[in-house]
Structure 1
């Protein structure tokens, strides 16, 4: 398997330049085609008709979204013309409620999606919908970019968050091209279960599986010395100077993750390096 079609989704000018610059660097390293989807988001709530709002106002919100999509596409084409890649730029208008489905329709035929961080004070809710659409409905692995992170390139040192879940295994298999090419891969196991078939050799089976693919792999078993698993993982990623984290996405329901927090959400909010996820 190789990554030959990369999808980048842009919904606002604030994050477009950095997202495309990172996507261009990765597409160049992988010799891949880069597809850029520019979406003007109509934030009118579906099914609601506000008091005093008439058809003209509704049409105005749609026109604004069309203008936004056109502006994004024009700027994206200008940036892509300098890249020297095989690329394509498309534009569309999408209601917020339909965002996930629209992104998924493109992600289904991409090998990898590159998206900005979905959480944060300056992040619109459409970024979360785009990430979930690519991951869940589009069934595409996703690289989520950190805020102001280093240049995204072929990773040389990778940290794999391993908890024996189906989501983590799917992420590892999806990331194999990166894992094989890396100089070192660390399987990070935090507080392994005291009971179970792998209690005496946490991460051993995964290590064996990856070694047969030629991956240069090590196992790091850590104690949960901080309140959250994501905090331990993030500190270890910093200590080992990793340039990519591979992990499964949303082991619990997305509703529970959103309300109570979870390893996925916390990593995306705080990670200083790109996070590769699959579900």
Structure 2
């Protein structure tokens, strides 16, 4: 399987610049088609303003969101016109509470959704629900691209965060086009279980599965020497000059991770390299 339809959702032209550049690079490498969705976000809340002001202010907010969407689309098309890839762009306006429906309807028919990092300075609160809508309602894998990332066409070194969960397996299968073209894939197991069928060979069955697909995989068993699993994964990725991190998304509930934190939330906050996610 290759990625033949890529989707890049942009709600801020500057923050999504790296995501768009990565989308173009992957589209060229995969001989694929790129769809760009420019979304203007109406952040007003019906009923928040005093009586009689709702209609006027809502119209003003919608007009502002429409202008933002048009500006984002124009900037994206200027970059796309200088590329050699097949592409199409569309724009729309969505209220913040209804954002997921718009994103999911497009993500459902994409092989891969490329999005910017959802957390950071000056990052709008629409970026998190955009990513979650693509993963959950859209049922599509997501490639999260930090603003500082350099576009890559084919990752050469990939790390897989492997914990035997269903989410990690779904992500690994969805990432096979990247894994098969990589020079080396590190299956990273942190503090493997001391009981269970795989205790004597952690990551062994996954590496066998990958080998049969022609993937050059090796298992790295690590101790949790830092408070968070994401910190151990990122340090190992840095030590191995990894181009890409693959991991399952939200093994715990989104609410729990939003309140208490979790590997997915922490990775999305601190990753310095592209992260491939699936649920």
TM-score (norm 1): 0.97
Cα separation, 2, equivalents of 1:240 and 1:20: 26
Deviation at 1:56, TM superposition (A): 1.2
Aligned to 1:199: 199
Aligned to 2:160: 160
Alignment CA distance shift 1:34-1:100 (3 Å): same
Aligned: 1:48 with 2:47: yes
Residues 229-248 of structure 1: pairs in structure 2 closer than 5 A: 229-248=229-248
Aligned to 1:65: 65
Residues 177-256 of structure 1: pairs in structure 2 closer than 5 A: 177-256=177-256
Residues 244-272 of structure 1: per-residue CA shift (max 9 Å, x gap): 00000010000111111110111111111
Deviation at 1:103, TM superposition (A): 0.4
Q: Does structure 2 conserve the Cα–Cα contact (< 8 Å) formed by 1:104 and 1:137?
A: yes
**7-16 or 225-234, larger mean C-alpha shift:** 7-16
Deviation at 1:20, TM superposition (A): 1.4
Misfit runs of 4+, over 2 Å: 16-19, 150-153
Deviation at 1:54, TM superposition (A): 3.4
Aligned to 1:146: 146
Residues 209-268 of structure 1: per-residue CA shift (max 9 Å, x gap): 111111101000000011111111111000011100000001000011111111011111
Q: Does structure 2 conserve the Cα–Cα contact (< 8 Å) formed by 1:152 and 1:274?
A: no
For residue 257 of structure 1, give the secondary structure of its aligned residue in structure 2: helix
Aligned to 1:112: 112
Q: Structure 1: which 5+ residue stretches go unaligned? A: none
Residues 41-87 of structure 1: per-residue CA shift (max 9 Å, x gap): 00112x42422523111110111111111111122111111111100
Deviation at 1:18, TM superposition (A): 2.4
Aligned to 1:26: 26
Cα separation, 2, equivalents of 1:13 and 1:50: 29
Alignment CA distance shift 1:58-1:166 (3 Å): same
Aligned to 1:14: 14
Q: Does structure 2 conserve the Cα–Cα contact (< 8 Å) formed by 1:19 and 1:116?
A: yes
Cα separation, 2, equivalents of 1:184 and 1:49: 54
Q: Does structure 1 conserve the Cα–Cα contact (< 8 Å) formed by 2:186 and 2:217?
A: yes
Q: How many residues align?
A: 278
Cα separation, 2, equivalents of 1:150 and 1:80: 17
Deviation at 1:91, TM superposition (A): 0.3
Cα separation, 2, equivalents of 1:249 and 1:274: 14
For residue 121 of structure 1, give the secondary structure of its aligned residue in structure 2: coil
Deviation at 1:150, TM superposition (A): 2.3
RMSD (CA atoms): 1.0
Cα separation, 2, equivalents of 1:234 and 1:48: 44
TM-score (norm 2): 0.97
Deviation at 1:16, TM superposition (A): 3.5
Cα separation, 1, equivalents of 2:23 and 2:130: 16
